[in-house]
């Protein structure tokens, strides 16, 4: 993640925060073991993400019910609901008619004491595959503490962050600290695939004045993230016996689809380089847009000229490149147009141009670094000796869905994201979160939930105070 330029001004502080911060810190220090146990319990649920609509559910329902009981005990009204096929808002983000059998969503709400701004904690319970499991030092679904770290699949991404948020709201209940605005909690499925769970929650009425997603960030505050476009390009060939000369394709001769993919690869690489160098591709917090072939499949038999070759593409783009709806229609068109033009000198490819199909689209999002929510989180982290910088996320999170499609400005702040060598710990064998990061995340979230909103002029004005509509399942 890329840090924002340094700020000249110190965030406004409020005298009453020091006492509240001390009480929260002392309470959570005493409950650090409970935080580890809760995160370990969540890790034990196998909630490996599906990669296709028809894949059977795993332990998602049991995990959500476990969380529901914790939140009810903390004073929340909780609804665990299963979206029906067709309930999702119509967007390019998910396939039409996607079902959720065995994959419920959780929405909870605890009323505030007045008319203050509402705050939502959102997190995904799904995790990426733990394969290759034989590479792990310990069972990825049986959390283990070693050397001040909690190891297990989801320890940082993001069951550790969810556990920290649960302990944060339990702490507020235990200490009698009630925010002025409503406090909402939303745990979802499918973030690691296409964000369908948060999209379904938005469609079901989840909304707040601001949201924090405790994704792994090293306790920095993610205010910007790129959009993602996933697709496939297929190059057609013509089969024939590979041990015979192919002949002239204009007269029915064979054509090797794998070899015809080479100029398409070159065109994609040239487009990526040109796109990244354009003035509109510079961003203070985010890497430039990119276009990466990630998998390739070609051929039918080892002695046959391949009849087709397909490549999967991972396209990342900046908020400025999104269309009016927040998606990538212009980028799709540009990729198709420029690649076909680049290979038009090849007679076969001119007559049989590459075919593009597009699937997952995840919108980019950005909040100004001086947004009031950012100030609240920066102050809260500083109360526990942590420096939280506004940063950019090269990939994507559910915060973008909340911001772009849910009417809820959202950022991310959570535990360990990087190893000491600077590499990511999420999605890796022996994924871990530092115990100190989990505890400080819980403290910062709890304090941010009860901290007063910065005064007008300290950042972008928050939305007028509102609570989740009665129709929301929370």
Alpha-carbon distance of 460 to 319, in angstroms, equals 19
Alpha-carbon distance of 105 to 423, in angstroms, equals 32
126 is catalytic: yes
Exactly one of 17, 144, 191, 361 is catalytic; name it. 191
Q: What would the two tokens of residue 340 be? A: 């076909």
Q: What would the two tokens of residue 435 be? A: 């115990």
147 is catalytic: no
Q: What would the two tokens of residue 441 be? A: 């995340």
Exactly one of 17, 60, 126, 398 is catalytic; name it. 126
Query: Residue 348: left (phi > 0), alpha (psi -120 to 50), or beta?
Result: alpha
How many CB atoms sit inside 10 A of residue 43's CB? Answer: 27
As annotated, the active-site residues are 126, 191
């Amino acid at each position: 993640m890329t840090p924002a330029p340094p700020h000249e001004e110190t965030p406004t502080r409020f005298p009453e925060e020091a006492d509240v911060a001390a009480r929260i810190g002392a309470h959570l220090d005493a409950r650090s073991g409970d935080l580890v146990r809760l995160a370990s319990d969540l890790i034990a649920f196998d909630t490996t993400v599906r990669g296709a609509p028809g894949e059977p559910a795993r332990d998602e329902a049991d995990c959500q019910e476990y969380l529901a009981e914790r939140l009810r005990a903390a004073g929340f009204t909780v609804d665990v609901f299963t979206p029906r096929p067709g309930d999702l808002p119509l967007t390019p983000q998910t396939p039409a008619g996607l079902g959720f059998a065995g994959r419920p969503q959780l929405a909870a709400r605890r009323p505030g004491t007045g008319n203050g701004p509402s705050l939502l904690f959102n997190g995904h319970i799904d995790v990426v595959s733990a394969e290759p499991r034989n590479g792990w030092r310990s069972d990825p679904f049986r959390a283990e503490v070693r050397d001040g770290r909690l190891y297990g699949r989801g320890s940082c991404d993001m069951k550790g962050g969810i556990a920290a948020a649960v302990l944060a709201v339990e702490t507020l209940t235990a200490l009698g600290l009630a925010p002025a605005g409503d406090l909402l909690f939303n745990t979802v499925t499918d973030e690691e695939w296409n964000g369908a769970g948060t999209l379904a929650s938005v469609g079901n009425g989840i909304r707040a004045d601001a949201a924090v997603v405790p994704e792994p960030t090293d306790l920095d505050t993610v205010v910007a993230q790129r959009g993602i476009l996933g697709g496939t390009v297929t190059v057609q060939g013509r089969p024939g016996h590979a041990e015979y000369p192919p002949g002239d394709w204009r007269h029915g001769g064979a054509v090797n689809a794998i070899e015809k993919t080479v100029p398409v690869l070159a065109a994609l690489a040239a487009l990526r380089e040109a796109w990244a160098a354009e003035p509109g591709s510079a961003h203070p917090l985010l890497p430039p847009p990119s276009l990466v072939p990630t998998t390739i499949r070609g051929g039918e038999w080892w002695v046959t000229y391949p009849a087709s070759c397909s490549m999967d593409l991972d396209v990342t783009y900046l908020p400025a490149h999104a269309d009016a709806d927040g998606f990538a229609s212009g980028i799709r068109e540009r990729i198709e147009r420029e690649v076909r033009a680049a290979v038009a000198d090849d007679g076969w490819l001119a007559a049989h141009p590459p075919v593009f199909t597009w699937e997952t689209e995840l919108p980019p999002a950005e909040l100004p670094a001086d947004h009031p929510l950012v100030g609240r989180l920066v102050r809260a982290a500083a109360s526990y000796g942590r420096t939280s910088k506004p940063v950019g996320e090269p990939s994507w999170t559910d915060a973008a869905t909340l911001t772009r499609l849910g009417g809820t400005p959202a950022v991310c702040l959570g535990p360990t994201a990087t190893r000491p060598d600077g590499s990511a710990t999420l999605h890796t064998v022996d994924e871990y979160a530092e115990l100190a990061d989990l505890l400080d995340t819980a403290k910062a979230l709890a304090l941010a939930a009860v901290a007063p909103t910065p005064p007008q002029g300290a950042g972008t004005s928050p939305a007028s105070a509102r609570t989740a509509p009665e129709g929301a399942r929370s």
